[in-house]
Every structure is written in structure tokens, then in C-alpha cells.
Amino acid sequence: MKRLAVYCGSATPEDPRYIDCAREVGAALAQRGIGVVYGGGRLGLMGAVASAALEAGGEVIGVIPEALAGSEVANHDCSELHTVTGMHQRKQMFTDLSDGFVTIPGGVGTMDELWEAMSWAQLGYHTKPVGLLNAMGFYDDLIAFNKTMAEVGFVRPAHQSILISAESIDALLDKMTGYQPHTPIFQMNAKEL
């Protein structure tokens, strides 16, 4: 994995552990020689991931929509900063530039990015690992919900291992390194669907 897309919040929660987590992720990726592809902002967890990666000598590629690029939110300290027309282009560029995806705590936009990465993997638009950092148990309920979808039958057995989760960034990266691509829906026959 040479680059990973990092999905996270642009907000700064009151609890400092979230910013600390984001900084730890940025630094860990840089220390492993893994570049960061992220939303291009300088605020919240996004900014913390980017600044920590840059401080550790890492590559940071920002991808920001035009609507945000002209404001004070864009991080012009990135190794590269790409401006795109909208969110669809942003997510496509995340996929094109990265070798996998890491989701850390965030809100609605973060969930949109995570679920799209999982959906695209399930369908076969990519065969890259999709990681979820369950720092401080933030994603306990989401992991349980994903398990419920599988138990009910909405996630096929072949796709139940798409979401890779761990409670520390090092454990998550180690699991992601060992990821074996599954059979995508586009390659399944009618009996398997």
C-alpha cells in the first residue's frame, strides 16, 4: 500500500482524543511510507491527519470540491491539492489515487465515503481493502449493524470480510496488508446472487 484514502470528520469535537487519534493516524501512515489521500481541508480531524503526516515527512494529497477550495478551509500545505467540481469526482479521485481506504471517526460525509467504498468493492469497481479504525469504540454500533445486515442476508457471505476493523491504527494497517480480494457481484452468477 503506497497511498491510502483517509476518511474522517472536518469537525473538531470537544474531546481531544479525536484530534489525537487523527494525528496518530497521519504520523503512523507517514512512518510506514504510506501517502495520505484525503479531503483537502485544514480543519478538524482532516487537518490533524494531514499536518501530522506532513510533520513526519509523509506525502499528503488533498482533493477538495470547488465550493470549498476558495474558502479558508483548503489546506495549501499539502504535497498536492486537487480541486474537483463536486463530491462524486472527489470520491472517484480518492479511489483512483489510493491503494485502500481508512475510515476514522467522523460524521455524515465520512459515512457516505465509507459506504461507497464498501459498495464499490462489493460490486467490483475496486478490489482495495476498506479499513475502519474503531478508536475508543466509536464504531461499535456500526460494526454491530454491519453484522446484522450480514446475518439477515443483505450482505452476501463472499462480501462479509470487505470491512476490516481494528481498534488501533497499527493493527488495522497490518490487517489491511493481508487483505485478499473477494469475488465481486459483477463476477458472480445468478445462483450466487
Q: Supply the angle between the helices 17-31 and 169-177 in degrees, to the nearest 10.
A: 40
What is the spatial order of strands in the sheet that 101-103 belongs to?
A: 80-84, 60-65, 35-38, 3-7, 101-103, 130-133, 163-166
Reading the chain (193 residues) residue by residue, the pLDDT tens digits are 999 999 999 999 999 999 999 999 999 999 999 999 999 999 999 999 999 999 999 999 999 999 888 776 899 999 999 999 999 999 999 999 999 999 999 999 999 999 999 999 999 999 999 999 999 999 999 999 999 999 999 999 999 999 999 999 999 999 999 999 888 877 877 777 6
Domains of the chain in sequence order: 3-192 (3.40.50.450)
Task: Write down the pLDDT at residue 193.
Answer: 67
> Measured between alpha carbons, how far apart are the two ends of the chain, in Å?
31
Query: 0.85 cut: is pTM over it?
Result: yes
Distance between CA atoms of residues 134 and 1, nearest Å = 20
Question: Coil, strand or helix: which one is 170?
Answer: helix
Q: What is the DSSP string of 127-154?
A: ---EEEE-GGGTTHHHHHHHHHHHHHTS
Nearest to 95 by CA among 128, 122, 119, 62: 128
Task: Write down the pLDDT at residue 72.
Answer: 67
